[in-house]
C-alpha cells in the first residue's frame, strides 16, 4: 500500500502570504497587517496550481477548514478558495484563536536580534540564549499555552478523520495560519515537544502536508514529498 494514497485523510497547512513585516523579519502576532501585492500573488499562484477539482486540494474532499482570525489569514483563505471551481460551504469553515500566531507579547514587531539584546540588557539569559520554543515571550504565550491550544485542535481533527482512515469518504482538512504556529503544529502533530530541535521551513503562501502512515490514526506523519494528481484529460 502506498503512503501517498490520497484516500488516507490529510491535513493541508497553508501559510498566509507575504506582509510588510514578513519581508523584514519582524515578529507578527496580533498586529493586523494586509497581504502585500506580492503576498496576494503568492497565494493566488498556489491556488491556481493546487486548489480545485482533481487538484491536490480538492474542495469537494475537504471536510473542514480552520482559519486564524487575523486579517492576513482571512485574506489568504479567500485567495485560496475564491479561485476554485468548487466552493467551500460556510458551515465547514471555522475561524479560531486556537490556530492564531504565537502571541509575542512584548516582542511584537521586533527583530530576533532586538529581542535577544533587550533580554541581555535586563539581565536575562545569563546561562543560555533565548529560545522561543523553550522560553516563550514576555507578556505573551508560553510554550505550554501554545501546546495546549494546538493539542485541542489536533484532537478535534483526529476525531473527524478517525472513522475514515480507509477512504470510506474524503475527510481532508485545511488549516490556514501563520509561519511559526504552523511549525509548532507539525511538531505537536508528530507528538514532539515544541523545544525539540526540528528545523522546518514553510514559504509565505506555501502548502505543507500531514497525514498518517499505514492508514493508522496512531501513526501521524509528515510528507517530505508527494506526487501531484494528474491533470484531467
- Residues pairing with 67 in the sheet: 95, 176
At residue 139, what are phi and psi to the nearest 5 degrees?
75, 5
CA distance 55 to 215: 21
16 tagged catalytic: yes
Helix, strand or coil, per DSSP, at residue 231: coil
Catalytic residue, candidates 16, 20, 168, 219: 16
Q: Please name the residues in contact with 1: beta carbons below 8 A apart, sequence gap of 6 or more.
A: 214, 215
What is the grid cell recorded at 155?
484532537
Catalytic residue, candidates 20, 97, 101, 219: 101
What is the DSSP annotation of 85-111? Answer: SSPPPGGGEEE-GGGSPP--GGGTT--
In terms of Cβ atoms closer than 10 Å to its own Cβ (0-12, 13-18, 19+), residue 96 is middle
CA distance 189 to 157: 10
Centroid of chain to Cα 170: 20
Centroid of chain to Cα 224: 15
CA distance 64 to 45: 22
Q: Which residues are catalytic?
A: 16, 101
Amino acid at each position: 500500500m502506498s503512503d501517498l494514497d490520497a484516500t488516507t485523510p490529510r491535513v493541508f497547512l497553508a501559510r498566509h502570504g507575504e506582509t510588510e513585516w514578513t519581508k523584514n523579519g519582524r515578529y507578527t502576532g496580533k498586529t493586523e497587517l494586509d497581504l502585500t501585492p506580492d503576498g496576494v500573488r503568492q497565494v493566488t499562484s498556489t491556488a491556481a496550481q493546487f486548489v480545485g477539482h482533481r487538484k491536490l486540494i480538492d474542495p469537494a474532499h475537504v471536510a473542514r477548514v480552520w482559519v486564524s482570525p487575523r486579517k492576513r489569514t482571512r485574506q489568504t483563505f479567500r485567495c485560496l478558495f475564491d479561485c476554485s471551481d468548487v466552493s467551500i460551504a460556510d458551515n465547514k469553515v471555522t475561524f479560531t484563536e486556537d490556530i492564531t500566531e504565537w502571541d509575542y507579547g512584548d516582542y511584537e514587531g521586533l527583530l530576533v536580534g532586538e529581542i535577544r539584546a533587550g533580554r541581555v540588557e535586563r539581565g536575562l539569559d545569563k546561562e543560555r540564549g533565548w529560545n522561543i520554543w523553550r522560553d516563550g515571550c514576555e507578556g505573551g504565550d508560553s510554550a505550554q499555552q501554545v501546546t495546549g491550544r494546538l493539542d485541542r485542535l489536533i484532537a478535534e481533527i483526529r476525531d473527524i478523520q478517525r472513522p475514515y482512515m480507509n477512504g470510506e469518504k474524503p475527510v481532508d482538512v485545511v488549516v490556514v495560519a501563520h509561519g511559526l504556529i504552523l511549525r509548532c503544529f507539525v511538531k505537536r502533530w508528530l507528538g514532539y515537544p515544541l523545544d525539540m530541535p526540528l528545523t522546518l521551513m514553510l514559504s509565505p503562501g506555501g502548502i505543507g502536508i500531514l497525514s498518517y502512515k499505514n492508514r493508522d490514526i496512531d501513526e501521524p506523519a509528515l510528507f517530505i514529498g508527494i506526487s501531484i494528481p494528474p491533470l484531467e484529460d
